[in-house]
Structure 1
Amino acid sequence: MGYVLGIDLGTSSLKGLIMNKAGQLVAEASAEYRIDSPAPGFSEQHPEYWVIAFEEVITKLSFDVADFSAKLEAISFSGQMHSLVTLGENNEVVYPAILWNDVRTTKQCAEIMEQLGDQLKEITKNIVLEGFTLPKILWLQQNKPEIWAKVQKIMLPKDYLAFVLTGNMACEYSDAAGTSLFDIEKHEWSTAICDKFEIDKDILPSVVASLAQVGVVNEVYANRFGLKQDVKVFAGGADNACAALGAGIVNEDYALVSLGTSGVFSSFEPEIVNYQGKLHFFNHVIPDVYYSMGVTLAAGNSLNWFKNTFGKGLGFDELLADVHTVAPGSEGLLFTPYIVGERTPHIDSKIRGSFIGIDTRHELKHFARAVLEGITFSLKDAQVLMETAKNKKFKQIISVGGGARNTDWMQMQADIFDAEIIRLEVEQGPGVGACMIAAVGNAWFTDFESCRDTFVQYQKETFKPKKDNVANYEKLYEVYREVYPATKNICATLTGFGEI
């Protein structure tokens, strides 16, 4: 039985998963790398970090799996989105990759929206944000013209790694959609956007489907790792699209909620929906469909902050041990998780978090429960936008990340989202989606639906909404939605004081 390799090129580490045709995880390995910050707000990596990490991961996997070199058939990728890789005349890196979490481009974002505005939203279905690729290009043009003059090719991180492996340059639709340069409906780089900002389309790689084979592992790497056959390399996908695929979301009846440092609520979209920039809307790795995504900037980060500030010395299990003894609504205590600003549906860098309704009854357990409820309400904002636009209701929501490890939080999600919540049997994140792309691309399966049935398993225990809790949370959610407009101006003033 052969193997496929899924490479997840993340922000702080690269992870490799080996899976076989039965959908079994055979082995995994990871390697970390640093994020460089040469100035406040800057977040950079040299692409060589990713290559070194890839070589380290392959070495580990070759050691752990005796027949790896003989049975590896295909490789694909999941990659951090938006980050800008710039290559010169001989395909050398001319400037460190500017990462998705770099915030130096606020000025450029304002310029783009001022000059293109509604046209940009019409073409890309998104507003431009600091994380996206186009404002990074403008920053280089304006601040490093001597570097920009050397640029012969622009790439995204996973595509650069595929280029190193195969010698071929390509970018697939789901990652291209996050650049603010891509026409989502036409599946091509936008001439209007490129012309407006003096970007020669020739410096952009060709765009292909996620299942497209971009080449085979070149002779150098084949010899180095003792590969016994040509190993096909498939284009792969953006990390959020791969995460949704790896969770088995292959139709519009299901949604994904991911609770990491930030929080994501995403859903499958069979056709174009114009959310006017309130949600991210991108091409999917699944052919000819899309996905939408809402983001809470501080999901797990809010809980970490709360624990470190008010629960020093406590583990998460201890901190949350008594939240089940508190009724839904935390006895009138409400938390908004805007501690680092917010993304969906309020694109507001100055809004800040709140505890509303504090009185002398409230103990640590009330505050802890309120934090969990507030994070979930924030993600419900995205759910409401999606369900309202499509006049539908999700049948099930798959929960991954930290929120899936606590049963009390799982029940809160079921009650607040008013949907059945399920968990993955084995949670491996976007790397499973990358493996699935390699498996379908390699003709192990005819489509992603049949691959999902083999590669994705769910736990038997599910969490169903409780009618009384749903009713209480519906009322409380309406109160939650009043907090942002009520505190927006106050927070904008207070953040000014914080800068003194």
Structure 2
Amino acid sequence: MQPMLGVDIGTTSTKVVLYDANGQVAASANHGYPLYQDLPGMAEEEPAAIFKAVLTGIQAVLPQAKQPIGGISFSAAMHSLILLDDAHQPLTRMYTWADNRAKAAADRLRALPQAHQLYLNTGTPLRPMTPLAKLAWLAETKPNLLAKARWVVDIKSYVIDQLTGQLVMDYSIANATGLFNLQHFDWDPLALKLAHIQAEQLPRLVDTTAQVIGLKSALATKWQLNPQTPLIVGASDGCLSNLGVNAIEPGVAALTIGTSGAIRVVTDQPQLDPHGRLFCYYLAPHRWVIGGPVNNGGNVLKWVRDTFFDGASYATITQLASQVPAGSHGLLMHPYLNGERAPLWNADARGAYFGLTAQHTRADLSRAALEGIGFNLVQVAKLVQQLTGPFKSLQATGGFANSATWRQLLADIFATPLVIPDSFESSCLGAAVLGWVSLDQVTDLTAVAQLVGHEQIVTPDSSAVATYQRLYPLYQELTTAYQPLFGKLAALMTKKD
């Protein structure tokens, strides 16, 4: 293999990893950018700031390559949306998946008679996160702005266009827009009509291993690269995270907890939830990722830190939580501090502690929060298993995998062995593997098994498993009881405001 750059354009930062000819990490860089949340529901970022982070990251790691690189392969967060003018300049900031202002538009889409057919066409739940919902919202609230848009793109399409002058979008990112027909591998006419755009406004569709040739000469000179160095378009970060932790075989699920979280399993053909609660996204030929995303992951632990611990380190908090027995002395937490996608798909969802007594401490509150995140992900996992069958192992990725307390707690809550690969930045590694496949330097995606490195296996503790299996039905019962109350509370607060 030739060295490969894996570039992961994330929600809060861009990671760039240089892999050497043996697939080992040779260098890495990580550059962040601001998230603008000036209005209720807003979650926007500046495309120029993200592009600068990409350039800075590539510039930082390239000089450490000991031989010419084979290519630059990309991963990116799903559901991003940018409107461009004729000159390919942004008319808007980037709307991220977390921007919730399209809630009313999404509600109206779900109320349409064609709503379920639209989900079956696209594999994407009809929710505010999607570009489809955001375009419908813009058509209602800012029709003049939408009318000015010559191009409707995602952040990866924008970055590759800035690097090469070519607008393309891979099937994986397109699949997550809500505008892509997963049966026909083309834009869906019904979705386009509801989004108030034309197919001609969207980038050219390509496979995830497609190469874009023609790096702009100024960048090629600056980076001392051949202008013909291929840029591999790559896929979405969630799909590539599965690949990067070697969770691409039947029964092997990827469990991710970063700021948010997800459960994902790879199958050989599309599988759709009859109730539209799970996504089905393309990764590569005969590789489809089935799963559900949650809004509430590490951001809940951050809230615990900021609220109860005055900014103490996460290590301190998890160490305290480790001293509390499974079940947190009878305290349950529903972690819906940021609304929720799967399993509730309810932007009005709110968090709650249940079972509080005067004897509970900050340590109990902390452990209950970690357990609540886990229980919520178990609810998602059970939906996935209805389609794909039971899990034989969970491949762990995300910041939580660095904590022994979190690792053991999740193995116990899932009652399933938790496997932690040594692979660094799983989405970057997944992008790199796609790059090597594109260049015919590995035969197929299964080559990742030789690249993820040593794996640690966390075995469930039978005593803790028994406790969690007694508590989980109560957690579910409370979830069901809370659901009709979320909307009532939201309506009261809206009226008050």
Q: TM-score normalised to the size of structure 1?
A: 0.92
CA contact (8 A) 1:121 1:277 kept: no
Structure 1 residue 201 displacement after superposition: 1.3
Structure 1 residue 358 displacement after superposition: 2.4
Tell me the equivalent position of 2:300. Answer: 302
Decide which moves more: 220-229 or 169-178.
220-229
Decide which moves more: 469-478 or 215-224.
215-224
Q: 1:90, 1:365 → 2: CA distance? A: 55
Q: Which runs of 4+ in 1 moved over 6 A?
A: none
Structure 1 residue 340 displacement after superposition: 2.3
Partner AA of 1:445 in structure 2 = V
Structure 1 residue 436 displacement after superposition: 1.4
Tell me the equivalent position of 1:409. Answer: 406
Partner AA of 2:18 in structure 1 = I
Partner AA of 2:8 in structure 1 = D
Is the aligned partner of 1:316 residue 2:311? no
Tell me the equivalent position of 1:30. Answer: 30
CA contact (8 A) 2:125 2:277 kept: no
Q: How many residues align?
A: 494
Tell me the SS of whatever aligns to 1:95: coil
Q: 1:403 to 1:44 in 2, by over 3 A?
A: closer
1:373-403 deviation per Cα after TM superposition (whole angstroms, max 9, x unaligned): 111000001111112233x321110122232
Tell me the SS of whatever aligns to 1:462: strand
Partner AA of 1:375 in structure 2 = I
Q: 1:216, 1:367 → 2: CA distance? A: 54
1:439-479 deviation per Cα after TM superposition (whole angstroms, max 9, x unaligned): 211111010102x02321233x3111233432332221111
1:469-496 deviation per Cα after TM superposition (whole angstroms, max 9, x unaligned): 3233222111110111222344444445
Tell me the equivalent position of 1:443. Answer: 440
Tell me the SS of whatever aligns to 1:284: strand
Structure 1 residue 316 displacement after superposition: 2.7
- Structure 2 residue runs of 5 or longer lacking an equivalent are none
Is the aligned partner of 1:473 residue 2:468? yes
Q: 1:262, 1:239 → 2: CA distance? A: 13
Work out which of the residue numbers 159, 162, 166 in structure 2 matches 1:161. Answer: 159
Q: 1:355, 1:10 → 2: CA distance? A: 31
Partner AA of 1:127 in structure 2 = P
1:113-161 deviation per Cα after TM superposition (whole angstroms, max 9, x unaligned): 2333122112112322111111222233333333323322222111221
Tell me the equivalent position of 1:8. Answer: 8
Q: TM-score normalised to the size of structure 2?
A: 0.92
Q: How does 1:48-59 map to 2 (within 5 A)?
A: 48-59=48-59
Q: How does 1:172-321 map to 2 (within 5 A)?
A: 172-228=170-226, 230-276=228-274, 278-312=276-310, 314-321=312-319
Partner AA of 1:329 in structure 2 = G
Is the aligned partner of 1:457 residue 2:447? no
CA contact (8 A) 1:21 1:444 kept: no
Tell me the SS of whatever aligns to 1:94: coil
Aligned-residue Cα RMSD (Å) equals 2.3
Is the aligned partner of 1:488 residue 2:483? yes
1:13-68 deviation per Cα after TM superposition (whole angstroms, max 9, x unaligned): 222111122111111123333334564433333422233222222322244x164x
Decide which moves more: 280-289 or 381-390.
280-289
Q: 1:339, 1:197 → 2: CA distance? A: 29
Work out which of the residue numbers 325, 328, 334 in structure 1 matches 2:326. Answer: 328
Q: 1:309 to 1:285 in 2, by over 3 A?
A: same
Is the aligned partner of 1:397 residue 2:387? no
Tell me the SS of whatever aligns to 1:92: coil
Q: 1:266, 1:405 → 2: CA distance? A: 20
Q: 1:91 to 1:407 in 2, by over 3 A?
A: closer
Q: 1:208, 1:277 → 2: CA distance? A: 29
Is the aligned partner of 1:143 residue 2:141? yes
| Identity value in percent | 27
Partner AA of 1:413 in structure 2 = L
Decide which moves more: 1-10 or 378-387.
1-10
Decide which moves more: 162-171 or 416-425.
162-171
Q: 1:458, 1:277 → 2: CA distance? A: 39
Q: 1:89 to 1:424 in 2, by over 3 A?
A: same
Tell me the SS of whatever aligns to 2:57: helix
